[in-house]
Structure 1
Amino acid sequence: MAHIDLGVDETLFPGITGPMKYRPETGNPLNELAEVLLRRQPHPLTPGERELIAAYVSGLNECTFCCSSHSAFAAAQLPTGMALVDQVRADLDSAPVTPKLRALLRIAAAVQESGRKVTPDLVEAARAEGAVDLEIHDTVLIAAAFCMFNRYVDGLATFAPPDQDAYTGMAARILEQGYGVPD
């Protein structure tokens, strides 16, 4: 049960959806930010790669709801699905991702610790693997935003479904409708 009464059935509006429904004045802009960062095209990173960054940071932050949901969202958009997400989360160094994505995920991990942990060496390593400024910028912003989203979800102690099938259903809705608070 959440720390505050969100005025919704938490099983119908789990994780971040409950607080966003509780306060749409803040929820709507946060959803728009997620839409731009994770889905808007054209972009040099695929939506699946951007969702993977969100899932990776959420895992590092130990946010069950965000990690589970964005892992499902990434898996639904990546050719090798959840197997790749699980490999990245378990061992980034041996995961079968491009060197560019690995370098960007290292930047995201640095942001998760502290923005000051993003060093010129990390940025140059990403550039050496072909990352452009937009990819570096958005990786930093996705990681920073998900630190906030994770703390929002966990700070209110919102409900995280224990069944992975719930997140698969959420992924189908996100792919079809995008980010927004469901009715």
Structure 2
Amino acid sequence: MAHIDLEVDEKQFPGITGPMRFRPETAKPLNELAEVLLRAPHSLPAGERELIAAYVSGRNECTFCCASHSAFAAAQLDEGMTLVDQVRADLDAASISAKLRALLRIAGAVQISGRDVTTELVADARAEGATDLEIHDTVLIAAAFCMFNRYVDGLGTFAPVGQDAYAESARRIVEVGYGPTTTARPSGEAAA
């Protein structure tokens, strides 16, 4: 059970969806940020950007965000969940491009501390063909997911078990993106 009454059935609105329904005023800009970072036109495919989110969420041990963004990445990558599992298990041995590996190393450094991103990590990413926009957005995705992970876990929200529980939300994200979860609080009242 969540640490506060989110006024929703936590099994119907698990993870971040409950808090977003509870506070649509904050959900709107958070969803807009996720939409821009993870789905907007970009030189990095959406599946790779979702993989960065899943990787950081896994390192933060955020069950809901890791499972959901792993599903979202898998739905958009040709290699599916096999590749997501490889990256999460052993970044060095995963069957990914050298550029993506270098960007994931930057994301891993951000997960520890922004100060852990070194000029060497950035130079390595550039040497593998990463653009300044890709490096920027990797840092921002990693930083944003540290925040999202702490939001979800800080409120003690429910996380379904098993990848099947995330299949429908993966389908929705791929089809329509990160839209508003609601326009009003479940009770119809403004948030306090």
For normalisation by structure 2, the TM-score amounts to: 0.93
Task: Label 1:165 to 1:181 Cα distance change in 2 as closer, same or farther (>3 A).
Answer: farther
Counterpart CA distance in 2 for 1:68 and 1:156 is: 17
> How far did residue 98 of structure 1 move?
0.2
Counterpart CA distance in 2 for 1:57 and 1:84 is: 15
For normalisation by structure 1, the TM-score amounts to: 0.98
> How far did residue 127 of structure 1 move?
0.1
* Mapping of residues 104-119 of structure 1, within 5 Å: 104-119=103-118
Q: Deviations over 1:67-122 (max 9, x none)?
A: 00000000000000000000000000010000000000000000000000000000
Show structure 1 runs of 5+ residues with no match: none
Q: CA RMSD in A?
A: 0.7
1:3 matched residue in structure 2: 3
Larger radius of gyration, structure 1 or 2? 2
The number of residues matched between the two structures is 182
1:84 aligns with 2:110: no
> How far did residue 173 of structure 1 move?
0.8
> How far did residue 62 of structure 1 move?
0.2
Counterpart CA distance in 2 for 1:163 and 1:11 is: 14
Counterpart CA distance in 2 for 1:9 and 1:28 is: 21
Structure 1 contact 47–74 (Cα < 8 Å) conserved: yes
2:129 matched residue in structure 1: 130
Structure 2 contact 14–158 (Cα < 8 Å) conserved: yes
Show structure 2 runs of 5+ residues with no match: 183-192
Identity of aligned residues (%): 77
Is the helix fraction higher in 1 or 2?
1
